[in-house]
Amino acid sequence: MAILIKNIKALIQVEEKFRPNVSGKEMASLPTVKDAWIFIDEGRIIDFGTKDSYEIRLPAGQAGIMNHEKSTHKLTSSPAQQLTTIDATGKLVFPSFCDSHTHLVYAGSREIEYIDKIKGLSYEEIARRGGGILNSAKRLHKASEEELVEHALARLNEIMMLGTGAVEIKSGYGLSVEDELKMLRVVRRLKEISPLTVVATFLGAHALPEEYKGRQDEFVDLVINEMIPQVAAEGLADYIDVFCDRGFFTPEDTDRILLAGMKYGMRPKIHANELEYSGGIQVGVKYNALSVDHLEYTGDEEIKCLLGSETMPTILPGAAFFLGLQHAPVRKMMDAGLPLAMASDFNPGSSPSGNMQFILSLACINYRMLPEEAINAVTLNSAYAMGVSEELGTIARGKKANLFITRPIPGYEFMPYAYGSNKVETVILGGKVITNQGLRITE
């Protein structure tokens, strides 16, 4: 089944030549094609162009919609029954958002802690009282794998209809061998059944369980000697994470855990510098982390360390908004020439929303990013931050056809501007139109 979207007001974030990410000043440039069409077949973007021509140039040797051997086909002569045509008059087409940092497998919301927060307790005070991550761990322990899959699928379906096409999901509410494995098996199941692209990160060192109080080293040993080998044996995780911050895990703990994970082929992707200058950024860069995330406390030393590295600095504006944290020095980082990604951090404690359209608005209002910079941060750069930029993050020939069509809007600046309303009208994942239930209505 092929899809032609025609009369597109503008095709956003198009890419003629592969770039793994954009940094510094390049972040302000957002390539677009006006009055465009795009042609999708067999789950891939085949071609796009301006309205003067609907010619489809298929790569030599690839089966075309007409099984024609020539490398150029007139779309008008293709069999109508194999082709869905969508008229996008007045509408824009974007590559799906890539949400490179979430904790969306969890058992139950935590709005009671939210009330405590409103009354003035900090995230760390709530955690010290046994709330926070430990509260989620208790609840996850009681939940079955099936229940967790069902609830996570509902969250996936929600973010999918808001424009997300790829999501990273972390463990970290297990905190025991058995429950960490349970979480990651849930993520594996989601990979199998969801039309979204899903990647998995093992976050055994998310918080210290009650019974290990005063014995942090022993818990780190448990992560290294038992959790990592078993996670690796079942091939359950693509990446390894540690919450490296004040009151959680030290740079030394992080160093040991990352080294152990890397021996099993898991590249680091860590929580760092949310609560203080924790040294997390440095340890992440030392081990060539794919990303270091949060970064509210980023100074000259951290910027210097990130420059020239392959590590994507990733900001989580939803968590800073929800917890009332100081903002990461985003402009300073971009002026220094760094790339930036942004993700939702969807989790029940510090960011109970996976709405990437709202992240775009926060990027512009709270971090003073231009709409172009913000869109780069939630597409191409966040695709890099989850290791999928060769497949996703831009509208490029040969990439996976994960994209969305907006409702009629004036231009891409309207996306962050009109905060709080859903501008996404039609979702296409893997080359198929997706309905609200995650069902495919085209084959």
> Where on the chain is the footprint of ligand NIG (CB under 6 A)?
103, 132-133, 136, 243, 271, 274, 319, 345, 347-350
Nearer to Fe ion, 30 or 270 (CB): 270
User: In 3-state terms, what secondary structure has residue 209?
Assistant: coil
Contacts 24+ apart (CB under 8 A), 306-311: 306/281, 306/333, 306/338, 307/336, 307/337, 307/338, 309/285, 311/284, 311/285
47 binds, among ligand NIG, Fe ion, none (CB under 5 to 8 A by kind): none
| Binding status of residue 296 toward Fe ion by CB under 5 A | no
156 binds, among ligand NIG, Fe ion, none (CB under 5 to 8 A by kind): none
Nearer to Fe ion, 41 or 345 (CB): 345
Least CB distance to Fe ion at residue 170 (A): 7
Least CB distance to Fe ion at residue 102 (A): 8
Q: Which helix (H) or strand (E) holds 427?
A: strand 424-429
Nearer to ligand NIG, 39 or 346 (CB): 346
Nearest 5°: the CA angle 314, 318, 324 is 110
Q: How many whole angstroms separate alpha carbon 417 and alpha carbon 424?
A: 14
Report which residue type is found at 320. Answer: A
| Binding status of residue 345 toward Fe ion by CB under 5 A | yes
Nearest residue by C-beta to ligand NIG? Answer: 349
Least CB distance to ligand NIG at residue 323 (A): 8
C-alpha distance from residue 28 to each of 82, 157, 409 (Å):
39, 31, 21
Least CB distance to ligand NIG at residue 438 (A): 25
Nearer to Fe ion, 78 or 136 (CB): 136
182 binds, among Fe ion, ligand NIG, none (CB under 5 to 8 A by kind): none
Cβ neighbours, 10 Å, residue 79: 9
Least CB distance to ligand NIG at residue 139 (A): 11
Q: Which stretch binds Fe ion (CB under 5 A): 231-239, 344-352, 411-419, 432-440?
A: 344-352
What DSSP assignment string belongs to 316-360? -HHHHHHHTPPPP-HHHHHHTT-B-EE----BTTTB----HHHHH
Nearer to ligand NIG, 49 or 172 (CB): 172
Nearer to Fe ion, 255 or 345 (CB): 345
What is the sign, positive or negative, of the torsion defined by CA atoms of 379, 383, 389, 392? negative
Scanning the structure block, which residue is given the tokens 């309205």?
Answer: 51
Nearer to ligand NIG, 173 or 412 (CB): 173
User: In 3-state terms, what secondary structure has residue 254?
Assistant: helix
34 phi and psi angles, rounded to 5 deg: -90, 155
Nearer to Fe ion, 113 or 345 (CB): 345
292 binds, among ligand NIG, Fe ion, none (CB under 5 to 8 A by kind): none
Least CB distance to Fe ion at residue 206 (A): 8
Contact indicator for 408, 91 with CB cutoff of 8 Å: yes
| Beta strand ranges found along 51-112 (DSSP E) | 55-57, 72-74, 83-87, 92-95, 97-99
Least CB distance to ligand NIG at residue 194 (A): 22
Q: How many whole angstroms separate alpha carbon 249 and alpha carbon 246?
A: 7
* β-strands 267-272, 432-434 pairing: unpaired
Q: Which stretch binds Fe ion (CB under 5 A): 64-72, 182-190, 341-349, 396-404?
A: 341-349
84 binds, among Fe ion, ligand NIG, none (CB under 5 to 8 A by kind): none
Least CB distance to Fe ion at residue 203 (A): 8
* Sites of contact with Fe ion (CB under 5 A): 345
